[in-house]
Amino acid sequence: MRARSLWLLTEPLHAVTYFDEECRGLGKALGLKGFWMGYFASRTAPLGAVEPSLATAVLGVFAPGMVARALPAAWQLVSPTHVLEERARRAAGALRGIHPGLDETAAELSGPLLTIVEDAPVVARPLFAANRALCDHADPVERLWQLSTALREFRGDAHLCVLADEGLDGCEALVLSAGAGRVPKDTIRQDRGWTEEEWAAAADRLRSRGLLDRRGDATDRGRQERNRIEEETDRLAAQLLRPLSRPQTDRLLEGLEDVVRRILAADVLPFPNPIGLPHPDESEAQV
């Protein structure tokens, strides 16, 4: 499915902001306390100086307590505008370090990506809507990164809608994903801030629905449920490609593929990873 290919070829562009060393130092450079305060500030800054309750709702899978340790304290140290400027600058720097000739390619890719972003619906997609308003960077690589970010947040917003429709809360969604092998089972709980008790309670709820076994692995029914969630997310994300013809889409994907190949060759992104991006050698994409 081309919509899935679009995700696989834009997520690595966006994800340098989490894994490149310079990007990971954003919070410290801004006077924030550690990586996670910088993460929550930069991820939610497009929405303004949000409170933790709103941030928790739009991010979906982070424990409320983890978010509350970062927000609103971050806004007492730095403005959302400053965070946005710095995150774009650092992301572009990381991408140029990987692909020194990216400026020309970025200008070529930004046209069709902007067409997609401008056409996409914003209703019930808060992070996408907030990021779409930021896609006017004069710097071509910053613009490419921001367009990719808007697209991945569109898919993320859609994914949360699917999870909610399936009756899964944030912790349950992670437990099921870990049980299905889509995210690292040994670290994802801590990465998203859930306590052992909260994790165990979510696992119990999934077992009562027949989705998880006693070892914490997804049952056949659980894997089918997780696959259905992914397929529905793909279906909703397919709206992104409406304004492009099939040949235009194929040319865009080919152009993105060259950039992503360089990112993967640079070993910036770890596999497996907490964002669920699959290794390119894997036949089944994960979220």
Mean pLDDT, the chain, whole residue set: 96
Closest CA to 160 of 190, 184, 132, 128: 128
Closest CA to 174 of 261, 287, 76: 287
Q: Give tens-digit pLDDT for 199-244.
A: 999 999 999 999 999 999 999 999 999 999 999 999 999 999 999 9
Positions in the chain whose pLDDT score sits under 50: 283-287
Which residue has tokens 């909610």?
A: 164
For 176, the token pair is 């099921």
CA distances to 5, 115, 129, 131, 141 from 135, in Å: 22, 11, 11, 7, 11
Q: Give tens-digit pLDDT for 34-59.
A: 999 999 999 999 999 999 999 999 99
In angstroms, the CA 150 to CA 275 distance is 16
For 219, the token pair is 């049952």
Using a 10 angstrom Cβ sphere, with 0-12 exposed, 13-18 middle and 19 or more buried, the burial of residue 246 is: exposed
Q: What is the DSSP string of 114-178?
A: HHHHHHS--TT-HHHHHHHTT---SSHHHHHHHHHHHHHHHHHHHHHHHHHHTT--HHHHHHHHH
